């Protein structure tokens, strides 16, 4: 009854009739469905997620919560915040449920919580700046975005960073707008909470949130809008910020990882600003185009939202959100290194502006008269193609890496096709609220079906899981040597004693010196390895069939064999 009334109120825009408590229940239930219910379905992903998880595992094994390592190599690409959160989650889940080992979903809990907090703060932010209806629609648009649901299921930094950044942005908005909203001046505790949260964002992913908020404040001041910097208490705030972040850097610099830390800062932060790193390059405009897929529910309305923002550019709330969105978006478009999640912190502002446009399209006569132009109507409907492209991508993945056009593949693709064309129609007739409801509902359903049904059909890409399954079937618990295929997901499954080598000669030396009895070897290296083994008196035997699959991290097909070594 609650949910049926909810959607009826949405369609009729009677959102003000929804009780605040009911909105909490609705958003909480949807967050549980979208972010928590399927955390254990997808196997460990390569490469970042498995690196984060393995480093956290080693942190727990060694009880060293300062020095972050992946096997025997320091891993200082990111500060320790996310590893600490994952460690707390892993230990908590293991103890609460009396488990012998930590399940994969325990490491993903911080990301799911981060996504849930982000949805709630987006609602609060939209409600504060525009109204309850705008806040609720913005929260639902963000919740149903593929990249948000995807990041909530991956044990890494981005969902947590999004939540912390939004909390800081919400406090900043209260500081900037308290006079306009005729509210009491934010207390010192609130202001210092802003700086504490900003220090946490730094401990999660470095200066990303700082850069976005700095660009927001500078661009807002350039537009001659008032920001009283004294309200931010910058001197005390910066001192508090430094007191929180400096201890870890001091401890790292006092150890053996001083050079590693500075080399990492140089490569992972500074060099990304001037050159392509780790083959993650793309031209300017890539984020705008990719958002048609990764943020499809929001990007679906990009043209009417852009027009509405232009017509309302003197509105202070619109101006502030544009300052939080456009300068940072341009910054990310300009830097050569690009990854889809870099613009994730900008999507809530995009969603709130979109929600404000949707409400205005129903209530604003001026906006409706402008949008009657046929060219505008046609262009507004074009982003519906994003759903069709997603459907085509799902069909391609099923054919290329799965079991072909299965019923589940066709079902999910059909949902995307149906919703995209229906949204195109609603966009053309300017019924933006109906388009929003269709895309939100269909996207959530399709994405959940995708996570539930498709991973088991993609055995070709789960090479590490198939190797691990073969090892479990043989009840092997030895130290394994990896030659060739050595993805982090396999290392996480095999354990921290796993050894990696890059050549046959190195493999033979390690086998002889460390008395290693098992090797997992890529077929490319096998012939030479057999010759060197025979020469050194090592008898090798495969313990099962070779495993063929597609290594999506390197974009190539591989064949891997697990072998027993009798010296």
pLDDT at 142: 98
525/480 same-domain check = yes
413/475 same-domain check = no
Q: What is the DSSP letter of 403?
A: S
Q: Tell me how far the alpha carbon of residue 182 is from its chain's centroid.
A: 37
467/454 same-domain check = no
In a domain, 332, yes or no: no
pLDDT at 424: 86
Does the structure show a pLDDT above 70 at 373? no
- Top-ranked range on mean pLDDT: pick from 105-119, 179-193, 240-254, 375-389: 105-119
Does the structure show a pLDDT above 70 at 266? no
pLDDT at 411: 97
Of 25-39, 179-193, 359-373, 489-503, the poorest mean pLDDT is in 359-373
Report residue 127's pLDDT band, with 50, 70 and 90 as the boundaries: very high
Evaluate the CA torsion angle 79, 85, 91, 94 in order and state its sign: negative
Give mean pLDDT, residues 22-36: 93
In this predicted model, what pLDDT tens digit does every residue of 300-345 receive, in sequence order?
999 889 989 998 999 999 999 999 999 999 999 998 888 889 999 9
Does the structure show a pLDDT above 60 at 7? no
pLDDT at 364: 63
390/449 same-domain check = yes
In a domain, 488, yes or no: yes
434/467 same-domain check = no
In a domain, 291, yes or no: no
418/397 same-domain check = yes
User: Rounded mean pLDDT of the chain?
Assistant: 89
User: Domain containing 562 — which CATH number?
Assistant: 3.30.110
Task: Please state, for a pLDDT cut of 70, what percent of the chain lies above it.
Answer: 89
In a domain, 514, yes or no: yes
In this predicted model, what pLDDT tens digit does every residue of 448-489 receive, in sequence order?
999 999 999 999 999 999 999 999 998 888 899 999 999 999
527/509 same-domain check = yes
Domain boundaries, position 503 = 463-566
d(C-alpha 495, C-alpha 211), whole Å: 37
In a domain, 198, yes or no: no
Report residue 361's pLDDT band, with 50, 70 and 90 as the boundaries: confident
In this predicted model, what pLDDT tens digit does every residue of 411-457 receive, in sequence order?
999 999 999 989 888 988 888 999 999 999 999 999 999 999 999 99
Both structure tokens of 119? 């949805």
In a domain, 5, yes or no: no
444/472 same-domain check = no
In a domain, 508, yes or no: yes
Asked which of 458, 488, 504 is the last residue of a domain, the reply is 458
In this predicted model, what pLDDT tens digit does every residue of 170-217 receive, in sequence order?
999 999 999 888 999 999 999 999 999 999 999 999 889 999 999 999
pLDDT at 338: 83
Structurally, the chain folds into a number of domains equal to 2
In this predicted model, what pLDDT tens digit does every residue of 529-538 receive, in sequence order?
999 999 999 9
Does the structure show a pLDDT above 90 at 1? no
Give mean pLDDT, residues 26-40: 95
467/542 same-domain check = yes
Asked which of 458, 480, 495 is the last residue of a domain, the reply is 458
Phi/psi of residue 333, each to 5°?
-70, -35
453/467 same-domain check = no
Asked which of 404, 434, 458 is the last residue of a domain, the reply is 458
Nearest to 301 by CA among 195, 386, 392: 386
Nearest-10 crossing angle of helices 158-177, 347-363: 60
Both structure tokens of 23? 């909105």
Does the structure show a pLDDT above 70 at 398? yes
pLDDT at 369: 56
450/471 same-domain check = no
Does the structure show a pLDDT above 90 at 278? no
Specify the long-range contacts of residues 102-109, CB closer than 8 Å, at least 24 apart.
102/57, 103/40, 104/39, 104/40, 104/43, 104/44, 104/53, 104/155, 105/39, 105/40, 107/52, 107/53, 107/56, 107/155, 108/39, 108/152, 108/153, 108/154, 108/155, 109/39
In a domain, 204, yes or no: no
pLDDT at 382: 73
CA distances, 44 to each of 424, 446, 493 (Å): 36, 22, 9
Angle at 397 between CA 391 and CA 399, to 5 degrees: 105
d(C-alpha 371, C-alpha 199), whole Å: 44
Q: Are strands 539-542 and 556-566 parallel, antiparallel or unpaired?
A: antiparallel
Which segments of 12-131 does DSSP mark as H helices, in order? 20-31, 48-62, 81-96, 104-129
pLDDT at 74: 85
Evaluate the CA torsion angle 131, 134, 135, 136 in order and state its sign: positive
476/530 same-domain check = yes
Report residue 251's pLDDT band, with 50, 70 and 90 as the boundaries: confident
């Amino acid at each position: 009854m609650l949910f049926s009334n909810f959607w009826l109120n949405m369609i009729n825009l009677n959102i003000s009739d929804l009780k605040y408590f009911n909105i909490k229940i609705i958003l909480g239930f949807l967050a549980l469905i979208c972010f928590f219910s399927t955390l254990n379905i997808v196997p460990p992903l390569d490469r970042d997620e498995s690196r984060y998880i393995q480093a956290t595992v080693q942190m727990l094994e060694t009880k060293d919560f300062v020095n972050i390592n992946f096997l025997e190599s320091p891993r200082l690409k990111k500060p320790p915040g996310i590893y600490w959160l994952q460690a707390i989650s892993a230990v908590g889940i293991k103890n609460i449920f009396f488990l012998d080992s930590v399940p994969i979903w325990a490491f993903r809990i911080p990301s799911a919580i981060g996504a849930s907090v982000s949805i709630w703060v987006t609602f609060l932010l939209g409600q504060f700046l525009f109204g309850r209806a705008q806040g609720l629609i913005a929260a639902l648009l963000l919740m149903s975005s593929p990249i948000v649901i995807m990041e909530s299921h991956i044990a890494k930094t981005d969902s947590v960073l999004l939540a912390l950044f939004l909390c800081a942005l919400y406090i900043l908005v209260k500081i900037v707008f308290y006079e306009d909203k005729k509210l009491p001046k934010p207390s010192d505790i609130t202001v210092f909470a802003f700086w504490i949260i900003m220090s946490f964002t730094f401990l999660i992913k470095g200066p990303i949130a700082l850069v976005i908020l700095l660009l927001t404040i500078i661009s807002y001041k350039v537009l001659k809008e008032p920001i009283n910097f004294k309200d931010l208490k910058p001197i005390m705030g910066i001192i508090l910020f430094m007191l929180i972040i400096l201890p870890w850097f001091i401890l790292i610099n006092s150890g053996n990882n001083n050079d590693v830390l500075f080399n990492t800062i140089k490569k992972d932060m500074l060099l990304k600003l001037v050159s392509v790193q780790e083959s993650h390059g793309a031209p300017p405009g890539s984020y705008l185009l990719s958002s048609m897929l990764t943020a499809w529910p929001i990007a679906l309305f990009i043209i009417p939202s852009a027009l509405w923002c232009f017509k309302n550019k003197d509105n202070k709330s619109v101006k502030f959100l544009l300052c939080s969105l456009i300068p940072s978006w341009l910054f990310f478009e300009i830097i050569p290194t690009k990854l889809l999640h870099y613009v994730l912190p900008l999507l809530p502002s995009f969603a709130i502006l979109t929600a404000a446009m949707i409400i205005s399209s129903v209530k604003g006569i001026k906006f409706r008269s402008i949008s009657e132009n046929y060219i505008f109507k046609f262009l507004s409907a074009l982003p519906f193609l994003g759903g069709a492209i997603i459907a085509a991508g799902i069909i391609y993945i099923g054919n290329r890496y799965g079991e072909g056009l299965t019923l589940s593949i066709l079902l999910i693709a059909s949902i995307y096709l149906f919703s995209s064309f229906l949204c195109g129609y609603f966009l053309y007739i300017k019924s933006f609220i109906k388009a929003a409801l269709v895309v939100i509902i269909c996207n959530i359903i399709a994405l959940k079906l995708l996570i539930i049904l498709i991973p088991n059909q993609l055995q070709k890409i789960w090479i590490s899981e198939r190797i691990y399954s073969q090892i479990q079937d043989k009840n092997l618990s030895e130290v394994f040597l990896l030659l060739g295929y050595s993805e982090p997901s396999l290392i996480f499954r095999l354990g921290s004693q796993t050894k990696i080598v890059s050549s046959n000669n190195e493999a033979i030396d390690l086998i002889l010196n460390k008395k290693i009895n098992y090797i997992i070897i890529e077929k490319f290296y096998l012939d030479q390895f057999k010759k060197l083994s025979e020469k050194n008196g090592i008898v090798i035997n495969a313990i099962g069939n070779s495993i063929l699959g597609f290594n999506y991290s390197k974009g190539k097909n591989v064949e891997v064999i697990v072998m027993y070594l009798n010296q």
